[in-house]
Amino acid sequence: MKIGELSKATGASVRSLRYYEQKGLLTASRQASGYREYNQLAIEQVNTIQLYLSLGLSTEQIAGFLHCVMISKEAFCAEVLPVYEKKLAEIDEQLALLTAIRSNLIDRIASIREERMEE
């Protein structure tokens, strides 16, 4: 399978597939022409990469456990849980910040509306 086919099979852009390779998430053998050659397992692997990316993990974090999760269950891969916990802590931090800003905005919007009503 060439890179364009893998792209269509997974929805990942050709550019992204090359980037995953550069980051050590994906490997390909090479044809005599220099073209990348992928096997069927690559489809599942790319799907897995995109799943973890959608959780907000970095390619570096994913690289740390991708090999393990491709051959075992997540629970068996010691690297996964700490990464999840770290990400969860980051998200809780972001949620707290956004929630505070949200309250502030809502108050300010209400104040403006009230001041205008008084006229």
Position 48 contacts DNA (CB under 7 A): no
Position 8 contacts its own copies (CB under 8 A): no
Dist. CA 7–CA 53, nearest whole Å = 16
Residues constituting the chain = 119
By CB under 7 A, name the one of 13, 27, 39, 40 that touches DNA: 13
Which residues, 6 or more positions from 97, have their beta carbon under 8 angstroms from its beta carbon?
Answer: none
Q: Which stretch binds DNA (CB under 7 A): 40-48, 58-66, 72-80, 90-98?
A: 58-66
Note whether 71 and 48 are within 8 A (CB). Answer: no
For 6-44, letters b (16+ CB in 10 Å) and e give bbeebebeeebbeebeeeebbebeeeeeeebebeeebbe
Position 96 contacts its own copies (CB under 8 A): no
The residue count for binding its own copies (CB under 8 A) is 30
Write out the residues near its own copies by the rule CB under 8 A. 54-56, 73-75, 80-81, 84-85, 87-88, 91-92, 94-95, 98-99, 101-102, 104-106, 108-109, 111-113, 115-116
**Which residues here bind DNA, judged by CB under 7 A?**
2-5, 7, 12-16, 18-20, 23, 28, 31-36, 50, 53, 58-60
